[in-house]
Structure 1
């Protein structure tokens, strides 16, 4: 792995006139039967050394955010490219935290390109949006005609353990996935915190966790959709299942899962079960979950 680090110079995340401008560029190429990364980072972003779990050929990379969280004005930029016939799984070492009390938004912008025969699994841990925080993210994914992308986004709105409700703050999110120049899935969202947003059955319905998982690359068969829906019913804790709502939709070339509920662990457990079902459709079966999740 080639690794380059360009350190930032902000001394404190509370400095009024300086904000983190973190960057991570990851380029994956094939060497023999393995995928290897070339990495360039700028603080506060770091990337752990890649590893290949249980003999898998899939390159697992773990992103670290050394500042411990984002404040308004911070910006993180990702540029990820996969060469032909490569397979990478990218996750994060911990949940992201978006702090409040600043008029500017914290921003995340990412571009991803996946070449022919390649696959990227973008599986970050959840983001916790403090009440009053502003968080904007924008992602553009471009796939070659026979490439695959599976990604999820799990958000907790407010620190539930502290009794926060998302009465203040804003979340803007936009995901675009294109394949061979054709738009497959474009998903813009905007949530402006208020009591009405929090309580409305057409919005959050007092659910602090919203999550989305999309898999794009191949036409999804009807039984794949049925299996994803059935996976939800097999999860433990019937009380949580009764308090939450999910949906599965077939996309033009792939499928989409939505979750609205009370538990980030429940959302990830369901997404992981669906991921295991889908993996043999585009790559080797999943042997084990990333070790960084196993705490």
Structure 2
């Protein structure tokens, strides 16, 4: 379901020391994470890491060589509750190459009426590439949550991002029948919008079963690549990588990229498909191998 308007609100970062501090209040956590990556003599380095709990990032590692820096974001509180405010800012300087994921699935707990919110602001400079691949988000019944993600791309920059969401703890028979979920993503380049996606899902039995809502399926996902024009052959290949016979997935060719959508019952199903498409894009567009982060298997 699509909303008709959106106004971006983003709290600016303030000067903080390069170590974790705690800002838990009666209104929830106010966590911040500010990361800057730079390319130095063929090696991508995390040159700035500023955080306020419960957000932090593990020490970078290089499973596929010095050019691509892998980072894992941690949410040390274990889950998000009503009133929490999380702000994440990522900047890739020219030619930097980074892959960012999360240590585990994110959990959005039932709210007492207050909205939980996360703002993500990403800047990818010329010749840089960011792979933004968080693990899935589980939205508990009764949660009220909004995420705003904005990406600013320079010329010859590339961005791959995905979002996988499970509505309700379906293994326990829970449905998302109370609450609200919003996800707003915008990708811009030099003042021109390349891709804008605004989703809104109010929790209700009707929306859960509606063909215009979840159609009785608890899991949705979106994968988008923005940066270069892709061939129709690559789009067709991405479609064939989805192995399920049911028509619960689609692939769209964008003017400067590719979009995959999923609606179904299995986190494993969408994750396997998105991983296969991501690896296809890596080989075909980015000219690199398919190095899967080890944290996904923990």
Both structures adopt the same fold (TM-score exceeding 0.5):
yes
Question: Equivalent residue for 2:271?
Answer: 268
> Which residue, 71, 77, 91 being the options, matches 2:101?
91
Stretches of structure 1 lacking an aligned partner (at least 5 in a row): 234-240
Question: 1:146 and 2:156 equivalent?
Answer: yes
Tell whether the 8 Å contact from 1:245 to 1:259 is kept in structure 2 after alignment.
Answer: yes
Count matched residues.
Answer: 281
Question: Equivalent residue for 2:7?
Answer: none
The alpha carbon displacement at 1:54 in A equals: 3.8
Tell whether the 8 Å contact from 1:141 to 1:177 is kept in structure 2 after alignment.
Answer: yes
Question: 1:79 and 2:62 equivalent?
Answer: no
Question: Equivalent residue for 2:4?
Answer: none
Task: Please give the alpha-carbon distance, in whole angstroms, between the structure 2 residues aligned to 1:66 and 1:223.
Answer: 43
Question: 1:125 and 2:128 equivalent?
Answer: no
The alpha carbon displacement at 1:242 in A equals: 4.1
Runs of 4+ off more than 3 Å: none
Provide the TM-score with structure 2 as the length reference. 0.91
Task: Please give the alpha-carbon distance, in whole angstroms, between the structure 1 residues aligned to 2:246 and 2:82.
Answer: 33
Moved more, 98-107 or 51-60: 51-60
Task: Please give the alpha-carbon distance, in whole angstroms, between the structure 2 residues aligned to 1:218 and 1:242.
Answer: 30
SS in 1 for 2:242: helix
Tell whether the 8 Å contact from 2:242 to 2:273 is kept in structure 1 after alignment.
Answer: yes
Provide the TM-score with structure 1 as the length reference. 0.92
Q: How does 1:1-295 map to 2 (within 5 A)?
A: 4-10=18-24, 17-37=26-46, 38-55=48-65, 57-233=67-243, 241-242=244-245, 245-295=248-298
Task: Please give the alpha-carbon distance, in whole angstroms, between the structure 1 residues aligned to 2:253 and 2:41.
Answer: 36
Tell whether the 8 Å contact from 2:282 to 2:290 is kept in structure 1 after alignment.
Answer: no
The alpha carbon displacement at 1:280 in A equals: 2.8
Tell whether the 8 Å contact from 1:136 to 1:173 is kept in structure 2 after alignment.
Answer: yes
Structural RMSD (CA): 1.4
The alpha carbon displacement at 1:169 in A equals: 1.2
Question: Equivalent residue for 1:238?
Answer: none
Moved more, 47-56 or 130-139: 47-56
